[in-house]
Amino acid sequence: MFFRNLTFFRFPASLDFDALDAGLAECALKPVGALELSSRGFVSPFGRDSETLSHRIGDAIWVSAGSEDKILPATVVNDLLQKKLAELEDKEGRKLGGRARKRLKEDLVHELLPRAFVRPGRTDAMLDCKHGVLAVDTSSRKTAEAVVSDLRHALGSFPALPLNAEIAPRAVLTGWIAGERLPKGLALGEECELRDPAEQGAVIKCQRQELHADEIARHLDAGKQATRLALTFEEHLSFVLGDDLVVRKLKFLDGAVEQLESTEREDLRAELDARFALMSAEVRRLFVILERALKLSKAE
């Protein structure tokens, strides 16, 4: 269950989560109705066989936002709509107006919905109560905002905001490639994205590349700036940090997971519990490093 991406939000560390479980229960995922397009709500982090809607270890809380969406391809709807229109127009001997077409399409969608396939979805998130940080396992800002909205609905109030850096992230990432000292524990990886700041400027994407190489230096001398940069953290984590402050391609390395492999556990829940304990600790340590390096603002 290790997270693969991290989209961060800040909330006041003084926030009280005593009512979280009750709020999650009120907002638990319900099966999508016959005439509904989608349904959202919280599910158990431990899977369908568990009724527990949150899991807490120390100051870290694991929650999972679930969804059910009806799959109703637009091509199917439009194809049937054209056939219905042709039948009606042939029967009545006249072209139907825009309002009648819209009403016919709505009726057709309602007719198809009960037979549509349902696609389940799930997005995991971690609340770090000590530092006032929400980490959502997605690189999509829209998906992350939806999880924040779900938590806000469950808690009644959840003043979480996207990260705000007091210095330009591009400048920091570019400086690290150019040779500026990295924070203790961080090291350059072998991937980056460089962009010309001019509108419609060139974009250079490098993979499996020594980032201190002369060709990279020439791009920096030409004025390109780093918008994504691969990094490793203490041989425990590898990831790509973007100038949007999203952590992508997060991977837990041998230095972090070897302790999991050396311990046998009796069931899946115990395994997930151990993995969340490890993951939450590593993500917290990483965030503290990034907070200092990028001068991230705290929530008030």
Residue 258 is predicted with a pLDDT of 77
Residue in 20, 11, 16, 6 with CA at minimum distance from that of residue 54: 20
Q: Per-residue pLDDT tens, the chain, 300 aa: give them.
A: 699 999 999 999 999 999 999 999 999 999 998 888 899 999 999 988 788 999 999 999 999 999 999 988 878 777 787 777 777 767 776 777 778 777 878 778 777 888 888 999 999 999 999 999 999 999 999 999 999 999 999 999 999 999 999 999 999 999 999 999 999 999 999 999 999 988 788 999 999 999 989 999 999 999 999 999 999 999 899 999 999 999 999 999 987 787 676 656 667 778 888 889 999 999 999 999 999 999 998 876
pLDDT (0 to 100) of residue 207: 92
The full set of domain ranges for the chain reads 7-67+121-162, 74-114, 169-294
Distance of CA 272 to the CA centre of its chain: 20
- Looking up tokens 């905002």 gives 145
Identify the sign of the CA torsion 172, 173, 175, 176: positive
Alpha-carbon gap, residue 146 to 172, rounded angstroms: 29
pLDDT score at 17: 94
Rounded distance, CA 277 to CA 290, Å?
20
pTM: 0.86
| Residue 180: partners with Cβ closer than 8 Å, 6 or more residues away | none
Phi-psi region of 234 (alpha: psi -120 to 50; beta: other; left: phi over 0): left
Q: What is the pLDDT of residue 110?
A: 79
Yes or no: domain 7-67+121-162 corresponds to CATH 1.10.1740: no
Confidence at residue 270, expressed as pLDDT on a 0 to 100 scale: 82
The answer to whether residues 241 and 247 touch, using CB atoms and an 8 Å cutoff, is yes
